[in-house]
Structure 1
Amino acid sequence: MFSPELRRGLGRLLALVLVVTAGLVVAGPARAATNLVQNPGVEQVDGNGFPVCWEKSGQGTNTSTIATTNDAHSGGKAMRITISAFTNGDRKAMMTENAQCAPRVSPGRQYDLSVWYKSTTAANAVTLFRHDTKLGWQYWLDPATLPATNAWTRKTVRTPPVPANTDQITWGVSIYNLGTLTTDDYELVDATAGQGVDACTDAIGCVKGKWQVMPYQSAVRGIHAVVLHNGKVLLVAGSGNDPKAFAAGTFKTAVYDPANGTFTNVATPVDLFCAGHVQLKDGRVLVMGGNKDYPTADGTVGYKGLKNSYIFDPATNKYTRTNDMLAGHWYPSATALGNGDVLSLGGLGEDSTGTTTTDYYSAAQNKWLPMDQTKQTWAWWGLYPAMVLMQDGRLFYTGSHTFGVGLPGGGASIYNYGSGAITDVPGLRRKDERDQSMSVLLPPAQAQRVWTVGGGNGDAGATAHGLTDLVDLKAANPRYTAGPVLPQGTLTGGVPQTGEQGKMYVSLVLLPDGTVFETGGALHNRADPVFEASVFNPNTNTIRAGMATDPVPRTYHSSAFLLPDGRVMAVGDNPGNGSFDTRISVYSPTYLFKGARPAITNVASTNWKYGTTQRITVNGAVTRASLIRPAAVTHSSDPNQRFVELPMTVRNGTTIDLNVTNNPNMAPAGWYMLFVHNAKGVPSVAKWVKLG
């Protein structure tokens, strides 16, 4: 366990990043609600003259004072912190971490907290800690920063749902640069007390959701899917895992419009089958690598990777070639970095051997950098290694990959591109059976938790397992711990399974209500489809079983992803006989059956900068706002998928200000789907905004 000072220090370091989390900030919590803060006006003091139920805190070697002052918002006292010489770290006054002083809370509920303040600097942040009944006191999050102001100003923010096993929280306001911060009249009230849920509009849909198979089929084999910022879906097949199409030079791409069911064919220059792809910050799609050749008939030479690279422009529906990569990549990773650049690792090279070359795309220069400008470790990362960008700019290799066994070590690791350091992350169970498992950065991205689900070993023919594992990347020494197993499902023909439901080719989709939809998969390599779907709640680490199942098998070369209207689209299935299912399925989650949807009626600006406040209008009460990065998914891999929560300030009922993170690593530049949802978890249709 960390010492209290170290934990608070970690909180301050994270506060240097504007961690924006779920939160309705209202003009003021309901006055009838009970204020859970002890000594909220800091009027009661102890024998040393410091407010009862408050304690001085912080870290670093700064010169500072923390004391009461008679310059109060109300009553006769307030708290004042002054940093007169700043080196690093912070200073803050926090509610005391004990049974008598720390406000009591309930898991799953949300709380409005507010404070009156004045400050000579904008280097302020609200900081929260939570008491875990199993682990003790833990840093939770910094939900908002406070701008400088000479006049008493009220800041109010709503917490995300309180995590499981949490019975108390403490909070205060930090200052982390030269200046003076004065605070008074703290308040914390239960924001969800008395909220009811409307009667379900569809008894089955409200419990399980519903699938619809479209009355038409995809124009191409949807092996790769990218949701574009115009609401359409880029479906890339290349040769579509068809050697005859490859020999004939028949390579396909189509743009699908979910609004009217139409397909627009796109001229495809090379075989982009099993390429990598990622959204650039301007909304274009960078596609890297692909298939240079299929294996020889005698099996002595395997697939070969292209080093070609292209950019797809949604405005023209055309591919434009970039310069070549340093090496061939078939099944490469593609991770967007905070500065808009892209890092690509792994895959097979032009000679069908594993690629150990790192390739780095400069967004500013619109090209792949030459060898003398690209840092190399010559490490082998496997095929489609899931590389998730962390808030400090490092990459987390989750252990999810395609084909073969796991890498040396615990199956997962943290990679620092700048220094070349690779640090093992232990604890991932069955690391050599994570072939086409899937990993996601859980909602909210600010929590820095990753969930890895299922997997098998296609090369060995091993039966897939249903294990899930969780890791907290904020921990001093991250390691995976066991999560809940996947619930039971059935195989083709309705054969029930017992125990955990094993599956590879699994799909995980971040939903706008802050949960994760899990669907699709198979029990064995390209065989035995599994019909099971569930919803994972990151706040409670629990799985809700029994969701409606896609009637179409979704095994090898299948994908599922979020549409801007809050539904989930699924494509693809490529069993071992070489056939391909081109049916399209769309899932309506349970929240779409729980009454009227809120709506974003106006977005003042669709061009958002980091660290800014953005104004929107809505048509009624909402409780959360979030940015969700659109999908770029293939082979159970979309390492750029993330859900970034936004604190909200309600100005006059329907006018809302949203605070945008100032850390590009938390939300890499690009187009995002902006959602709001109400107290029942019913989301709006998304509006598109461009961040960066």
Structure 2
Amino acid sequence: MRTEPRPLMSRRDRLRIAQFLVLTLVLFLGLPERPGLASANLIANPGLESIEGAFPVCWEQSGYGNNGHTFEVSTDAHSGSRSMSVTLTNAGQGDRKAMMLEDSSCAPNVTQGHQYDLSVWYKTSTPNTVMTVFRHDAAQGWVYWTDLANLPVTTAWTQQTVRTPQIPADTDQIVWGVTIYGNGTLKTDDYAMADVTQPAPGDECSAGAACTKGSWAVMPFPSTVRAIHAVMMRTGDVLLIAGSGNNPDDFAAKTFKTAVYRPGTGQFTTVSTPEDLFCSGHVQLKDGRVLVMGGNKDYAAADNSHGYKGLRNSYIFDPATNSYSRVNDMSGGSWYPSATVMGNGDVVSLGGLGEDSSGTVLTQYFSDAQQRWLGIGEAKQSWSFWGLYPSMILMQDGRLFYTGSHVFGNGLSGSGSSIYDYGANTITPVTGLRRKDERDQSMSVLLPPAQDQRVLTLGGGNNETNVDAHRLTDLIDLKPASPVYTAGPVIPQGTMTGGVPQTGGQGKMYVSAVLLPDGRVFETGGGLHNRADPVYEASMYDPASNTFTAGMATDPVPRTYHSSAFLLPDGRVMSVGDNPGNGTFDMRISVYSPPYLFKGARPQITGLSGTNWAYGTSPTITVDKPILKAELIRPAAVTHSSDPNQRFIDLPMTVNGNTVGLNLTSNPNLAPPGWYMLFVVGTDGVPSVAKWVKIG
């Protein structure tokens, strides 16, 4: 908890100003002075009944200065069996607070411009008590906001309800509690918080359109690097790799960039980058480090004497040290290679351009046990060209499904999709994919849950013929012996630059598809043509009903070439990048809050039976309220609409009150070894913040 800064005016003066502001709002807006709570309680563990360690879950002992004080959990409660008690015996300097945790899983989400009723039941033996609020600022992190109301002395449980001013700009969460700054004892219980902003006509949710569409926020700071590649690491930080960032001048100057971004604070850490890792491949190893392969050896020559050339070099990025270390070279260079982790933790990489600018036909194989790339004679070779960034998804039987999604130009000869069996060294065509030569920067995802073995491929275009991108989706069930693509529902229509509606069969390439904790797929971003004409449209795809819900809130930043969107551990979606044909690069970062974040307080994972889970076991968790489901989501490693390792593994549950047994698959091909985000979802569809667990 960040402590409150030394005030420039007395606490009493600040309190009077705050009370004046509240009274002014009451008079001008016609609000009742003691309003009833109008919507869902946004407080996690509001009755303080769930305990973790020595204090209630989602609450902490806070304050500043030199004073004699004690915190305890009291059995003198307004309801239930627990309250929080704070005693000052020597007030001295500063104060003490029983406050909500400044944590994304506990802090209530708020909407800019909205107002909230904050309510608490309390007893206090001193008049020196006040309701205190902190806010999360996108640029500054957690900062003190205001003191809202003084709490009069009372020996009986008394309720105090206060309405906040409007939430300031760039604020996405608040925390609050009761501060004591004079000798005496304060007890609190049964907290509540509700959005009291008047809903639009016909809208039952006070958060307005966000209740059904979600909302976007553009961060008030830019990325420090061109985010060509984004990897969500087990630390909660995001690895952003630019290399030369598609800038030939930076390549010539050997100015190669990487940054580690911390979403919770907005901080960037610069990382020394050894090579031009622009358009490399990347995947998480089972220990949480990131294997980065290939990249850019040279840009295409102006005289057309050669095209882009692929690097042989390969590195491992360690999030513990924020540094790269080199491993042995691949057998051949690769620019735009695929990267798929296998059930044993090894990595298969296919496709891309080699050191001579031609398409590589090598199968590159990284042994996790040996921590090295196998030589040409050691790895099985099919001598097939798979295109650039071919989307290769691991199937439950250990084979790889080439979905037909790729980057640049036409697809491969034949049906455009196939199954590759590395062990048997065979390739089997898969039919049914429509417009196979217009799948440039389409995106393919293994739908939730992974156990169903269904893949959805969305959108695409062709950068050579530069036709209008399409709205097609195709769906395949990989369980049959001879799977076949079938037509899926079309992507909903969006608008282009200037708000011009799309017509006919127009759609988008550069599309992003993100698996969400509630089991749906968020589809966002894209453009109508090669590096041009951004499309502003977003939708939710429901695998259970095979339908899109149109009209989700749209990213205000164009997201075409070199853009990515991916899931954060707090259930939001982060979006980066845009590199149109004029060579510029949009450095803005956008964050999407899905509708489920406006439905109420999150469930809490209050306990784990360890964070290292073996296959076929039944780990146990504890939660603070009933849950609907639990799942593992593999963290993103995405570039160019390609993240073939993205997957959602269902965890069947055995429930005994707040103790939940989870059943982890015994098949490592369904959940390849590594670190995963563990989510639980409440009965109202609201997900927890993820806990990190290691599988295998």
Q: TM over 0.5, yes or no?
A: yes
Query: The residue matched to 2:220 in structure 1 has which SS?
Result: strand
1:436 pairs, out of 433, 438, 441, with 441
Query: The residue matched to 2:357 in structure 1 has which SS?
Result: coil
Is 1:670 aligned with 2:674? Answer: yes
Task: Give the corresponding residue for 1:498.
Answer: 503
Q: Distance in 1 between matches of 2:412 and 2:544?
A: 31
How far residue 354 of structure 1 moved from its aligned partner, in angstroms, is 0.3
Amino acid at match of 1:251: F
Q: Superposition pairs for residues 90-105 of structure 1, below 5 Å?
A: none
Amino acid at match of 2:663: N
Amino acid at match of 1:306: L
Task: Give the corresponding residue for 2:683.
Answer: 679
Q: Distance in 2 between matches of 1:383 and 1:637?
A: 10
Task: Give the corresponding residue for 1:390.
Answer: 395
Amino acid at match of 2:452: A
How far residue 201 of structure 1 moved from its aligned partner, in angstroms, is 4.6
Contact in 2 for aligned 1:199/1:595 (Cα 8 Å)? no
Is 1:657 aligned with 2:661? Answer: yes
Contact in 2 for aligned 1:489/1:531 (Cα 8 Å)? yes
Amino acid at match of 2:559: R
Task: Give the corresponding residue for 2:140.
Answer: none
User: Where in structure 2 are there 5+ consecutive unaligned residues?
Assistant: 1-202
Query: The residue matched to 1:299 in structure 2 has which SS?
Result: coil
Task: Give the corresponding residue for 1:589.
Answer: 594
2:515 pairs, out of 510, 514, 524, with 510
Q: Distance in 2 between matches of 1:341 and 1:475?
A: 26
Task: Give the corresponding residue for 2:408.
Answer: 403
Amino acid at match of 1:361: F
Identity %: 72
Is 1:531 aligned with 2:536? Answer: yes
2:251 pairs, out of 246, 263, 280, with 246
Q: Superposition pairs for residues 287-366 of structure 1, below 5 Å?
A: 287-366=292-371
1:210 pairs, out of 184, 196, 215, with 215
Task: Give the corresponding residue for 1:542.
Answer: 547
Q: Distance in 1 between matches of 2:242 and 2:514?
A: 21
Q: Distance in 2 between matches of 1:555 and 1:327?
A: 30
Contact in 1 for aligned 2:337/2:349 (Cα 8 Å)? yes
1:274 pairs, out of 264, 269, 279, with 279
Q: Superposition pairs for residues 151-190 of structure 1, below 5 Å?
A: none
Q: Distance in 1 between matches of 2:493 and 2:395?
A: 33
Q: Distance in 2 between matches of 1:346 and 1:591?
A: 39
Q: Distance in 1 between matches of 2:227 and 2:624?
A: 37
How far residue 387 of structure 1 moved from its aligned partner, in angstroms, is 0.1
Q: Point out the structure with max Rg over C-alpha.
A: 2
After superposition, what is the alpha-carbon deviation per residue over 1:205-234, rounded to whole angstroms, capped at 9, x for unaligned?
Answer: 111000000000001000000000010000
How far residue 679 of structure 1 moved from its aligned partner, in angstroms, is 2.1
Contact in 1 for aligned 2:408/2:441 (Cα 8 Å)? yes
Sort the Cα spacing of 1:500 and 1:203 in 2 relative to 1 into closer, same or farther, 3 A: farther
How far residue 601 of structure 1 moved from its aligned partner, in angstroms, is 1.1
Is 1:636 aligned with 2:641? Answer: yes
How far residue 328 of structure 1 moved from its aligned partner, in angstroms, is 0.5
Q: Distance in 2 between matches of 1:480 and 1:407?
A: 16
Task: Give the corresponding residue for 2:474.
Answer: 469
How far residue 613 of structure 1 moved from its aligned partner, in angstroms, is 0.7
Q: Distance in 2 between matches of 1:391 and 1:416?
A: 12
After superposition, what is the alpha-carbon deviation per residue over 1:354-397, rounded to whole angstroms, capped at 9, x for unaligned?
Answer: 00001000000000011221000100000000000000000000
Amino acid at match of 2:671: A
Q: Distance in 1 between matches of 2:482 and 2:546?
A: 21
RMSD: 0.9
TM-score, normalized by length of structure 1? 0.71
1:237 pairs, out of 242, 257, 275, with 242
Amino acid at match of 1:589: P
Q: Distance in 2 between matches of 1:581 and 1:570?
A: 11
Query: The residue matched to 2:210 in structure 1 has which SS?
Result: helix
Amino acid at match of 2:262: D
Amino acid at match of 1:686: A
How far residue 202 of structure 1 moved from its aligned partner, in angstroms, is 1.2
Q: Distance in 1 between matches of 2:305 and 2:417?
A: 30
Query: The residue matched to 1:546 in structure 2 has which SS?
Result: coil
After superposition, what is the alpha-carbon deviation per residue over 1:519-570, rounded to whole angstroms, capped at 9, x for unaligned?
Answer: 0000000000000000000000000000000000000000000000000000
Contact in 2 for aligned 1:211/1:585 (Cα 8 Å)? yes
How far residue 301 of structure 1 moved from its aligned partner, in angstroms, is 0.9
How far residue 299 of structure 1 moved from its aligned partner, in angstroms, is 2.0
How far residue 203 of structure 1 moved from its aligned partner, in angstroms, is 2.1
Q: Distance in 1 between matches of 2:541 and 2:263?
A: 26
How far residue 493 of structure 1 moved from its aligned partner, in angstroms, is 0.6
User: Where in structure 1 are there 5+ consecutive unaligned residues?
Assistant: 1-197
Q: Distance in 1 between matches of 2:685 and 2:622?
A: 18
Contact in 2 for aligned 1:467/1:483 (Cα 8 Å)? yes
Task: Give the corresponding residue for 1:8.
Answer: none
Contact in 1 for aligned 2:410/2:438 (Cα 8 Å)? yes
1:551 pairs, out of 556, 564, 582, with 556
Task: Give the corresponding residue for 1:416.
Answer: 421
Q: Distance in 1 between matches of 2:433 and 2:209?
A: 36
Contact in 1 for aligned 2:468/2:506 (Cα 8 Å)? no
Q: Distance in 2 between matches of 1:479 and 1:208?
A: 33
Query: The residue matched to 1:570 in structure 2 has which SS?
Result: strand
Query: The residue matched to 1:456 in structure 2 has which SS?
Result: coil
Query: The residue matched to 1:269 in structure 2 has which SS?
Result: coil
Contact in 2 for aligned 1:443/1:538 (Cα 8 Å)? yes
Contact in 2 for aligned 1:252/1:267 (Cα 8 Å)? yes
How far residue 650 of structure 1 moved from its aligned partner, in angstroms, is 1.2
Query: The residue matched to 1:464 in structure 2 has which SS?
Result: coil
After superposition, what is the alpha-carbon deviation per residue over 1:50-106, rounded to whole angstroms, capped at 9, x for unaligned?
Answer: xxxxxxxxxxxxxxxxxxxxxxxxxxxxxxxxxxxxxxxxxxxxxxxxxxxxxxxxx
Contact in 2 for aligned 1:487/1:501 (Cα 8 Å)? no
Task: Give the corresponding residue for 1:521.
Answer: 526
Q: Distance in 1 between matches of 2:505 and 2:552?
A: 16
Q: Superposition pairs for residues 126-165 of structure 1, below 5 Å?
A: none
Give the number of equivalent residue pairs: 494
Query: The residue matched to 1:371 in structure 2 has which SS?
Result: coil
Q: Distance in 1 between matches of 2:219 and 2:208?
A: 23
How far residue 200 of structure 1 moved from its aligned partner, in angstroms, is 3.1
1:569 pairs, out of 562, 570, 574, with 574
Query: The residue matched to 1:203 in structure 2 has which SS?
Result: coil
Q: Distance in 2 between matches of 1:549 and 1:582?
A: 18
How far residue 411 of structure 1 moved from its aligned partner, in angstroms, is 1.0
Amino acid at match of 2:664: V
Q: Distance in 2 between matches of 1:234 and 1:683?
A: 24
Task: Give the corresponding residue for 1:64.
Answer: none
Amino acid at match of 2:688: S
User: Greater CA deviation, 198-207 or 243-252?
Assistant: 198-207
Amino acid at match of 2:221: Y
Amino acid at match of 1:557: H
Amino acid at match of 2:550: A
Task: Give the corresponding residue for 2:45.
Answer: none
Q: Distance in 2 between matches of 1:201 and 1:604?
A: 38
Q: Distance in 2 between matches of 1:656 and 1:200?
A: 31
How far residue 501 of structure 1 moved from its aligned partner, in angstroms, is 4.5
Amino acid at match of 1:683: P
Amino acid at match of 1:599: Q
Query: The residue matched to 2:385 in structure 1 has which SS?
Result: coil
User: Greater CA deviation, 488-497 or 330-339?
Assistant: 488-497
